[in-house]
A and B are shown apart, each in its own frame.
Chain A
Amino acid sequence: MTTLTPVLSAHWDADRSWKLARYEADGGYRGLRRALGMPAADVVTTVKDSGLRGRGGAGFPTGMKWGFLPAPDGGPRYLVVNADESEPGTCKDIPLMMASPQELIEGVIITSYAIGCHHAFIYLRGEVVHVYRRLLEAVREAREAGYVGTDILGSGFDLEITVHAGAGAYICGEETALLDSLEGLRGQPRLKPPFPAVAGLYARPTVVNNVESIASVPAILQGGASWFTSMGTERSAGHGLFSLSGHVTRPGQYEAPLGITLRELLDMAGGVREGHELKFWTPGGSSTPIFTAEHLDVPLDYESVGKAGSMLGTRALQIFDETTSVVRAVSRWIQFYKHESCGKCTPCREGTFWLAQIMARLEAGQGTSADIDLLLDLCDNILGRAFCALGDGATSPVTSAIKYFREEFEAGTHTPADVLFPPERSALFDYTPRRRTQLAGVHA
């Protein structure tokens, strides 16, 4: 049986868990001290050897990303932390930064030292003001203690950290859009190459990493690469936050080795809500193809989830029981992608609008018999043709839902989703719906 391995989440329940003094009392900043005693290249090697892969969804090896930076040319190099957590279902970085922001700050300092960066940025989404307060305070405390500023802990290493609040745009989670946004522009993705490692922030070599990736670095420095690889699978090493939400008895954050299964996690979380059964779930947010009960035993690591037809993504496990209309769920996700499409490329900008229209009429029970094929054709014209991953992600819920629940889409040609699946049965509280789509003559 797999058990939980709290590393990042080990002390979140401490009194005033966000304070520097508490963090130091629990062993904080030992990783930094060890790192500063090593050549920077060895820090990169340690993280490479740990097998840490990007925790923001794509799973790219973190140490390798650092290693891509060109040789120093005397000009600035930047670390930018992607704290724009906005993927539907994803809720791990925000509670991490609220409960224990110093984990991230220490990771930022170690990473900056490793890559030769003297000004790091944390790009936080703007819609979480209390997290912004905590981060600003964490940087202030770290500066006061000599962890940030000039000659850090007598090492001669200098670092400034700027915490930057965004202003509400999902697309800014895409790394090049984030960089444009941080430069004071509309947050639209850039053509790659050049990759940020070569020309990122202000066209300088830049590493962009997710919050959880960076926050995982201090413990790797403390325990060594072999400590990290003692958890997880061979190619998906280490611990990760698994976020259970939805129709589950005890939703929340469960930090476990990669490769744990949903069945094991559901056991820990008290199972699907009482009296109901699992219908479908996302392994890593709305942009990862949905799974069903047949995938309960898929090991949640990058390889196994990929092999089973989805992506590990952000380990955002959104659980939906049998009361939930798949058509309604997908329709709402598509509304989201339509709203958040940045408009730069045609397949995504137009495609998400068309998808939304078709999903809306299927949800209303007014679809046509050609709509399923039309949806699939549209997805085929977005996937792989969009400028960035937002467009690709928008097709995931549609194609996977049709694959597993085609009959519900077919029902959308004659019966509204809220007649087939009354929404009050899905809600977590009792209420009487104010309006119900009426099917003329049938449900009057």
Chain B
Amino acid sequence: MSVEHADAAVPHGHGRVPGERHATGYDDETRARLTRDADEIVARYPQARSALLPMLHLVQSEDGYVSPRGIAFCAAHLGLTTAEVSAVATFYTQYKRHPNGTYTVGVCTNTLCGVMGGDAIWEELSEHLGVGHDETTPDGAITLERVECNAACDYAPVMMVNWEFFDEQTPASAVEVVDRLVAGEPVAPTRGPSQVGTFKEISRVLAGFPDGRADEGVGAGQATLRGTVLAKEQGWTAPSFDADERAAAAAAQADDAAPEVGDEQSSAQHAPTTPADSSPTGEQRKQKSDDAKES
């Protein structure tokens, strides 16, 4: 499969043309289709306005960004003003205010990923692609971004392509990924579906319309599983749900854990000879009596 990139350098029909009225943006067929989708989104919520965020994702799935006509469509559908819709669209970083590339490539440059090498990856990609933050390559293939922490710190340094995980990147691996994206080749994330979708395809998923790829890819990567695997190797488990089993296990552990007399942490210099040597209450009594003798 190859992907055609929309040419960002050439003005196209999705941009706002001076004098064009927002309301006339979509042709009848497109408007009818978007209206059906929007109705479906609205039906998920007790109040219609809650549909606005997913509807803005829907607009991006149609136009590749939050277009003026998309804003007008949302406003009309939800009974809002275009200013109210714009106010929301400008608040969230995933909503693009100008035509986006086919792929958003985001390099995490928050502290942890940045220090682990994200800064170097960012510099390499920026130079390789010839664009800076929130800029799109002239062929319309890639919009490069610095992204904030994407909740995959145990896989640092992390790169996101259209919000799919590319874990444990290096400058070389990141360049290879973007080169393949530019060439229109299929690229698989490290944790995610078997192929990264286009910006428009992913925007449609984010609007709540599944693309049938939920069962693709792994359940968890290696870092996610480190504790799970280690616990299995060591035979460590959480306590049993059964209270009696728990009590038995605790007793057994107490036996196992008791160090030999005179060993490190044995808290005893000689084998117990009186009740005070092994029972805490006896010990306290003994201590009290010792204290009394001293004073």
Contacts and interface: CB of A to CB of B under 8 A. Distances in A.
Contacts of A333: 110-111
Nearest to B257: A1
B219 A89 contact: no
B150 interface: yes
Interface stretch (B1-9, B19-27, B227-235): B227-235
Contacts, number: 305
Interface in A272-311: 286
A431 B169 CA distance: 13
A187 B54 CA distance: 14
B87 A239 contact: no
B227 A253 contact: yes
A430 to B, nearest CB: 9
Nearest to B147: A127
Interface residues of B, number: 91
A13 interface: yes
Nearest to B250: A230
Given A88-B111, A130-B193, A253-B224, A182 B149 contact: no
Contact of B109 (A10, A332, A435): A332
B93 A169 contact: yes
A184 B92 contact: no
Question: Which of B78, B149, B171, B227 is most buried by chain A, counting CB atoms within 10 A of its CB?
Answer: B227
B210 A136 contact: yes
B241 A227 contact: yes
Interface residues of A, number: 106
Contact of A254 (B57, B95, B112, B226): B226
A130 B236 contact: no
Contacts of B222: 252
A199 interface: no
> 4 closest pairs, A vs B, by CB?
A252-B226, A184-B52, A167-B92, A17-B219
Interface of A: 3-7, 9-14, 16-19, 76, 85-91, 93-95, 98-100, 119, 125-130, 132-134, 136-137, 162-170, 181-187, 202, 219, 222-224, 226-227, 230-231, 239, 242-247, 250-256, 268-269, 286, 316, 318, 320, 324, 328-330, 332-333, 336, 339-340, 342, 423-424, 426-429, 431, 433-435
24 contacts: A10-B228, A13-B225, A86-B149, A88-B148, A91-B153, A91-B154, A126-B92, A130-B192, A137-B210, A164-B50, A165-B206, A165-B207, A166-B94, A183-B50, A186-B91, A239-B238, A245-B156, A246-B116, A251-B226, A332-B109, A332-B110, A423-B120, A426-B115, A428-B116
Interface of B: 44-47, 49-54, 56-57, 78, 87-88, 91-95, 109-112, 114-117, 119-120, 123-124, 127, 147-157, 160, 162-165, 168, 170-171, 189, 191-193, 202, 205-208, 210-211, 213-215, 217, 219-232, 234, 236-241, 243, 246, 250
